[in-house]
Amino acid sequence: MVAEISAIRQAYLQNGGNDPDILHQMAQMQAEAQNIEDQMKKHGYDHRHREKKDNGQITQLELENERLHRELMLLQEQNFLARERKKSDREEELERQLRQLREDQLRKMYELQNEINLLKNRPPVEPPRQLPPPPPTKADTPWLLQRPYVEVEPMAPYDQYAGFVIFYDLVLNLDQRVTACRLIVGLHGVSAQMGEPTLMPTVYTEPVTRGGPYASNNSNAIIGARQPVPKCPADSDLGIVVELQTSGGPGSDYDKHSLITRAWTKLPLFDSKGQLIAGKFRIPFRNVPIKPYLHPSQLQNLDKFQDAELYYRVVNMRDMEVQSLVNITAANYNQYSHPIISPPSQNKPFSPRALPTASTGLGSTHSHPPVSLHKPTPPTSPPPDWLSPPDSQRSRSPELQQYDHTYHTPVPTPPASVPVVPTPVKPRTARPVLPTPPSEHETESEHPSRQEQRLPSIQTGRVQPQDTTIGFQVDRVKHAEHGEGKVRITVYYASTGKIVQSSISPLTCSTTAVKSNFKQGYHIFGQQEATFNDVDMQGDMVVIARFYLKRRQKEVSDFETDQVNGTLYDEETLVGWTAIPLVLCTENLSIRGRRNFNPKTMQINIGTHTLKLYQPPVPDPSQIPFDEIPSHNDWRRYKKSTLRIHIFQGNPRPGSLTPSDLSEDGEEVLPEYSWLPCERSKAPRDPFLSGDGFDVYVDGCRFLPDSVTFTKVAARVLDRKYEVHGKDINANVTLDSDIYNPIYETKTEFRENNIPPSATILFKIYTVDNFYKQLTVVGYATLNVYVESGTERQPTIDKPGLQVSLNEGAHQLRLYSQGPNGVDPLTESLIRDSGIRYVPCASLLVRLTRVAKGPSGKALEQAKVPQADWLRLGLYQPRPRYTDRIYFSTKCMPSKGESKLFHSMMRRPPIKVRDAVASIAQAKESFYRNDKNLEEYIRNKLTKGDNKPLDLDLTFICQYSAKQGIKVAVDGASNLPWTNFTHAHICLNPPGAFYMGTPHATYDKLMFTEFLDLKSTNTCPQWRDGFKHFPSRSYHRFLTVIIHLQEVQVSVAKENYKYGLLEQAWTAVQVFTDHYCYTSTFQLPLFDGSPSPQMLKQLAREPCKDWMERNIRSGTIHLLEGGSVYVRLADGRRDDELAGDAPGDKLLEVNTDYIPPEWEDKYARERPGKTLVSMIPTGKTAEQFVDGLAIKFKNLVYKLYEEGNVK
């Protein structure tokens, strides 16, 4: 008993207790207990039953005494802190209650003291038998770490001054299509929001791999974050609002990469008695809209968001460290239970007024701060001192920050045009504020006291400390100067300045050199990676990255090139540097104190980091701070450049750092390995002499269109007059390669001496079209055999004395839909310069290699050399991988639209050539088992016969993507029967909403032409609007574009201009065929009047062309004689293929399938008319008139709609 009283007294003193009355009572109790024990040792007699009863009473009394001491200790602390604040009416009432409680406690302690005195006066009992002494307790070991297992204590008393910690562990049962998710949390009461929201790290989901209560086709996300909330009062109305943002999943067919608010929930914190609801809990998410002012008990009336649940833990602040040791895994789902939520307090009724909802769930994406979730409705007229200054009025700090974390991006400040809602501050109630990342406009110099009050930030899950493998992935340098650059990373010990060592080498690595011509303002390194094993870990490790740049020069002579390359990456070419601590520490330690790596308080700074670059010189590692740089006058920014790297521990993360799946650029950024930039460093200089030979390797094709099956490459060497030289090239496909990325691995030898310097290799790729089932030419490609020595120019003349070099190397050639015309001299650039449409994304991989000569001075041939010597003599060179970056690819640099197409093409499932043959050939199963039969079948099918092969239908490149939508451009009209100005409006059918009358038109508004070309005529007007985008349009088999032209009359009456609508005409064009969007320029016949709703319903049920032909014959619709309109229709990703407009480019290929064959001559001729610029009324400039006419046209069209006169 003496030891227990002593321990109680010691704990009381350690926790800050200093009340002299309590200390005096404890001293008396300890002395009396010591006296009792001494008497028990001196006098003994055998009263075992009485001894057992007395000892039990004493134990119960001491436990009760201990409990009372804990309550007194808490009350004393509350009383002490309360004296430091201004007392309100409520606080004074609390003080009165505290005094009453203290008197009650003192009275109970006095009663306990009397009971102890009674026990003391009883005869002493016989001492018990001697037992072995208990094992000594490790006094230096904290009590929390002596526990045998980690568990939450739900009944532990809550200390409101210490607060609590909430661990966000898991989100389970998400849809399997969800690829990533993020939580946004904020503290809310039933009437107002407390503080700013906190953004959790964005985490990737993973599929379910083991059994449990969740379906096997779901996905899970491990959040692994904790949130300390100190100084939080025990208020049952408080709760944590958790907003769930996901990318992918249902409803994300059009945007699978943005984080969108999908669900929410509210976590209860305190019960009706003010006790913390601690434990491991699981709570379901609810559908949006978010209603943060509801009590958690009222959420049961809301619909659940699928089966998704949040798994979390709530613990007291004193249990934070031990709870951080818990292994977070979905396999422990059964340890979490549903919280018992008590109804709201009766003395705090909910406000009956309609509170604003937080979010609609449709507009909160990762690029916008979720202000709607955490902005309460301000009072009608708050006092001036209650209003917090808006962010737009804060001064922007010129001081530098060292680095930005991807997982801790500050919320962007709203623009000045957006009003900031002031948040009222209630001075009478102290409320906790959840920690939020500091704003980029707030620095320590502006707010000196803010750093002291800053609460701890979220701590992400830690990697196991025993893993000593560290690696780096370099993504890109942004906003640097043009030129060729590289990045070198070195890790130092800050305490000694030495380079960190691993088991095999120092921690220093360098990327390969890249140029900035791939993406404007970017040096893309493509996730170049370096990994180091068994790193000698210390807590003072710092990473310094250096960026070297060879600036682009206009001209570099042949003699200077080697000299420049030799000094490319010395200190003279260092243009920028940056640094980041490799180790994060929860304690504020000096550099010397960081030398020992403590896994309990230190972790590797893993993740993706965007670092600002500074100008040289590079400081000493000991001068690099381990936290954000508030100010450093000696460091100047290198332009606006940044470096993005990824640091990992253990295994590297899969995928590329280049933004693709989750990025602000979306599908406009090239996916990994779809196209790799490679440029020839030196022009060929070795002369190609008579007797030299070369080999042509056909390696393969990349990203062929959807219409291909099995393919073959045929080629010939032609001169400028299309005469053939040497043998034909025939490359047959390998049976196990992918039909979209076929492999040929064919080599053809050329040993002729009469090949002229201007020779060009013309390649053709043949296939059996998957849609037309006929022999089709997929595309054409050209490659010049020779170049003028020291340059990359193709010789244009065939003089005998001209010195040429072989165009040696690996080439990636773009495919074009048509070949040369056979009239113009054949050159490598003929097809490219003729304006022929290219085959999107498709390319051919070939190599030209020089051949070694034999003893006789003649070029060697494979047939005359043993096969064992082919590789040694260079007569056979294996096919390289595309990822080796040796194919010169600058001539097929992807366009913006191709970058989007690559994403869809890379999602196509691979199909083997042998499987494609089996789907076309109708033969017995035994036929497909023999590879010779399959090869013979391919040769027969791809051999040119009497019939001319078809040209590739450029419609069937890649299936339609609803996310990208369609684009339509109305470029001009021809042979209009009226004499005034003309404008057009466009809509899609279905729904054809404008023609359905009120209120349907508001669901799908019209697109209007605006920029009338005044140089055109009134009979053949033209417009310069370009493409109108219809994004996010669902696929419909018979979707049509309705183009409606109307005559606009402009007249002058006194000082006013009058506008009126007169005649009108319309036409339509079908958008899709077999899930593919037409991408072409059409000439469409015009029909008199306007379409009726019944016509539009019929158009939505059958092909547009068939409907037109039938109704023209029946007289339901009437053609305007010779009247037509030129329309460009394109897949939303392919509009850049249709750069020219038909009225302005007479050589442009136009689809006239909709023109009746018997009327082609009338539609080919154009009637003359007056130029529109001569028809402008007086008093108007051309620009004013064009703008005013477009506005008036819109108003007149909608006025007709409002009046019900659409027809």
Question: What is the predicted pLDDT for the residue at 566?
Answer: 39
Question: What is the predicted pLDDT for the residue at 404?
Answer: 35
| Mean pLDDT in residue range 563-581 | 72
Residues 6+ apart with CB under 8 A from 1045: 973, 976, 982, 983, 984, 1064, 1065, 1066, 1086, 1125
Report whether pLDDT(1205) > 70. no
Same domain (yes/no): 887, 996: no
Residue 960 inside a domain? The answer is no
CA 1193 to CA 300: how far, in whole Å?
53
CA 1082 to CA 1130: how far, in whole Å?
11
Amino acid at 672: E
| Phi, psi values for residue 152, rounded to 5° | -85, 135
Question: What is the predicted pLDDT for the residue at 456?
Answer: 34
Question: What is the predicted pLDDT for the residue at 744?
Answer: 95
Report whether pLDDT(626) > 90. no
Question: What is the predicted pLDDT for the residue at 91?
Answer: 60
Q: In the predicted model, what is the mean pLDDT of the chain?
A: 78
Which one of 408-412, 597-601, 734-738, 1196-1200 scores highest in mean pLDDT? 734-738
1064, containing H or E segment: strand 1056-1070
Same domain (yes/no): 531, 632: yes
Same domain (yes/no): 116, 237: no
CA 17 to CA 616: how far, in whole Å?
56
DSSP 8-state class, residue 912:
B
Are residues 1059 and 1180 in contact, defined by beta-carbon separation less than 8 angstroms?
A: no
Of the two residues 267 and 292, the one the predictor is more confident about is 267
Residue 244 inside a domain? The answer is yes
SS3 867: helix
Same domain (yes/no): 115, 155: no
SS3 17: coil
Are residues 81 and 161 in contact, defined by beta-carbon separation less than 8 angstroms?
A: yes
Closest Cα partner for 688 from 784, 762, 781, 782? Answer: 784
Confidence of residue 1055 (pLDDT cuts 50, 70, 90): confident
313, containing H or E segment: strand 304-316
Which CATH number does the domain housing residue 996 bear? 2.60.40.150
Residue 139 inside a domain? The answer is no
Closest Cα partner for 839 from 670, 699, 701? Answer: 701
CA 1058 to CA 1061: how far, in whole Å?
10
Closest Cα partner for 181 from 239, 287, 262? Answer: 262
End-of-domain residue from the set 77, 100, 121: 121
Report whether pLDDT(756) > 80. yes
Residue 451 inside a domain? The answer is no
Residue 673 inside a domain? The answer is no
Residue 732 inside a domain? The answer is yes
Count of C-beta atoms within a 10 Å radius of residue 767: 28
Are residues 215 and 172 in contact, defined by beta-carbon separation less than 8 angstroms?
A: no
Give the residue carrying structure tokens 């010990």. Answer: 493
Residue 941 inside a domain? The answer is no
Same domain (yes/no): 299, 173: yes
Question: What is the predicted pLDDT for the residue at 843?
Answer: 97
Q: Taking every pair of C-alpha atoms in the chain, what is the biggest distance, in angstroms?
A: 134
Same domain (yes/no): 1050, 1191: yes
Same domain (yes/no): 766, 623: no
Question: What is the predicted pLDDT for the residue at 1000?
Answer: 66
CA 493 to CA 624: how far, in whole Å?
11
Helices within 1070-1159 (DSSP H only): 1093-1099, 1104-1114
Same domain (yes/no): 782, 865: yes
Give the residue carrying structure tokens 């332009």. Answer: 639
End-of-domain residue from the set 605, 640, 658: 658
Number of domains in the chain: 5
| Phi, psi values for residue 649, rounded to 5° | -125, 125
Domain that holds residue 200: 150-342+359-376
931, containing H or E segment: helix 931-941
DSSP lists the bridge partners of residue 311 as 170, 282
Question: What is the predicted pLDDT for the residue at 1040?
Answer: 96
DSSP lists the bridge partners of residue 987 as 1042
Same domain (yes/no): 256, 367: yes
Are residues 831 and 816 in contact, defined by beta-carbon separation less than 8 angstroms?
A: yes
Same domain (yes/no): 704, 837: yes
CA 479 to CA 643: how far, in whole Å?
9
Same domain (yes/no): 999, 886: no
Residue 785 inside a domain? The answer is yes
Confidence of residue 758 (pLDDT cuts 50, 70, 90): very high
Which one of 61-75, 291-305, 669-683, 829-843 scores highest in mean pLDDT? 829-843
Confidence of residue 171 (pLDDT cuts 50, 70, 90): very high
CA dihedral 358, 359, 365, 368 (to 10 degrees): -50
Of the listed ranges 137-151, 323-337, 389-403, 715-729, the least confidently predicted one is 389-403
Report whether pLDDT(421) > 60. no
DSSP lists the bridge partners of residue 695 as 749, 849
Question: What is the predicted pLDDT for the residue at 313?
Answer: 94
Tokens at residue 370, please?
């979720």
Q: 537-568, pLDDT tens digit by residue?
A: 888 899 999 999 987 654 333 333 333 343 45
Compute the C-alpha angle 152/158/164, nearest 5°.
65
End-of-domain residue from the set 634, 658, 682: 658
Question: What is the predicted pLDDT for the residue at 302?
Answer: 87
Same domain (yes/no): 839, 800: yes
Using N-to-C axis directions, what is the helix angle for 20-42 and 89-121, rounded to 10°? 20
